Amino acid sequence: MSLWEYANPKKFMQVSAGVLPWMAGLTGLCLGVGLIWGFFFTPDDFRQGSTVKIIFLHVPSAMMAINAWVMMLVASLIWLVRRHHVSALAARAAAPVGLTFTAIALVTGALWGQPMWGTWWAWDPRLTAFLILALFYLGYIALWQAVEDPDTAADLTAVMCMVGSVFALLSRYAVKFWNQGLHQDSTILKVGEKDPIAPVFYVPLVVCIFGFVLLFVALVLMRTRTEIRARRLSALLARERLA
């Protein structure tokens, strides 16, 4: 029994078929509870008013936008080292999801920034780094689509993902150096401070974060299954053409 057994497409399809409905149900539950609780059953902030509630979408999606890239990096490394096709397809499947999370984080941030900072957009380090991250996602997806041979595409995107990770980190620190920002630091994991976020917001926020993690896993599982089916279909068609 080892983890690598699940890299077998057949085994992966079997297991994921069983897991996926539960995962989807749990996602719906967490997001439903977290968002409804967050939007309708928390008080307005005394300075930010109701705009504070955008935190329930903004923070989890921003976290997942970065985590999705990390997951793609790990999956790419597994593909390069162990040549498991499921891993490469999972990385491919995760990219559009990650891009969507990035877009959600940027848009919700702009919606909050307009009333609070008085501007939709500022060239703040965090905002800029996220825009650059979105560009990396776009390039990654475009490279997958441009290369015809699937194994070549998997190899090239894996290399691009590794190099891109280094440069995304570099950009993160470069923009920090370049401009001092409006955006606050992350408050969720601040150690040593008692209640950096009021508990009344904190609990639904954690539920939402779990919901977004589950949503990401469920979407990636579903999209990976689609990719595997598409791969099988093209193999069948190729065999048919030869026969």
Partner 1 sequence: MKALLLRDVRLAIRAGGGFGLGLAFFLLVAVLVPLGVGPEPATLAKIAPGILWVGALLACLLSLDRIFALDFEDGSLDLLATAPIPLEGVVAIKAFAHWLVTGLPLTLVAPVLAVLLNLPGPGYLWLVVSLLAGTPALSVIGAFGAALVVGVKRGGLLLSLLVLPLYVPTLIFGAEVVKRGASGTEVSVPLLLLAGITAGAVALLPFAAAAALRVNLR
Q: Which residue(s) pair with 49 in the sheet?
A: 45
Whether residue 127 contacts residue 180, with contact meaning beta carbons closer than 8 Å, is answered with no
Task: Please give the C-alpha separations between residue 113 and each of 65, 102, 238, in angstroms, as whole numbers.
Answer: 19, 16, 52
Between 115 and 134, how does the x/- string for binding to partner 1 read (CB under 8 A)?
Answer: -----------------x--
Asked if 77 interacts with partner 1 (CB under 8 A), we say: no
Cα atoms in the Cβ-side hemisphere of radius 13 Å centred on 170: 7
Binding residue (CB under 8 A) for partner 1 from 136, 210, 212, 216:
136
Of the ranges 95-103, 162-170, 182-190, 205-213, which one interacts with partner 1 (CB under 8 A)? 162-170
Question: What character string, x for contact with partner 1 (CB under 8 A) and - otherwise, covers 175-204?
Answer: x-xx--------------------------
Q: Please select the residue that binds partner 1; options are 13, 73, 116, 147, rule is CB under 8 A.
A: 147
For residues 150 and 205, give the distance between their C-alpha atoms in angstroms, rounded to a whole number.
40
C-alpha count within 13 angstroms, C-beta hemisphere, residue 211: 23
Nearer to partner 1, 111 or 160 (CB): 160
Please tell me whether residue 123 adopts helix, strand or coil conformation.
Answer: coil
Q: Are 205 and 3 in contact (CB under 8 A)?
A: no
Question: Which amino acid is located at 165 in the chain?
Answer: S
Task: Please choose, out of 10-18, 32-40, 43-51, 138-146, the segment that lies near partner 1 by the rule CB under 8 A.
Answer: 138-146
Q: How far is the CB of 102 from partner 1 (least distance, A)?
A: 13
Distance CA 24, CA 58 (A): 21
Looking at the Cβ atoms of 89 and 154, the one nearer to partner 1 is 154
**Minimum distance between the CB of residue 65 and partner 1, rounded to whole angstroms?**
15
Closest CA to 102 of 142, 62, 47: 62
Q: In Å, how far are 40, 66, 153, 217 from 204, measured between CA atoms? A: 11, 21, 41, 20
28 or 181: CB nearest partner 1: 181
- Site size for partner 1 (CB under 8 A): 26
Interacting span for partner 1 (CB under 8 A) from 5-13, 53-61, 139-147, 212-220: 139-147
Chain residues that interact with partner 1, rule: CB under 8 A: 132, 135-136, 138-139, 142-143, 146-147, 152, 155-156, 159-160, 162-164, 167-168, 170-171, 173-175, 177-178
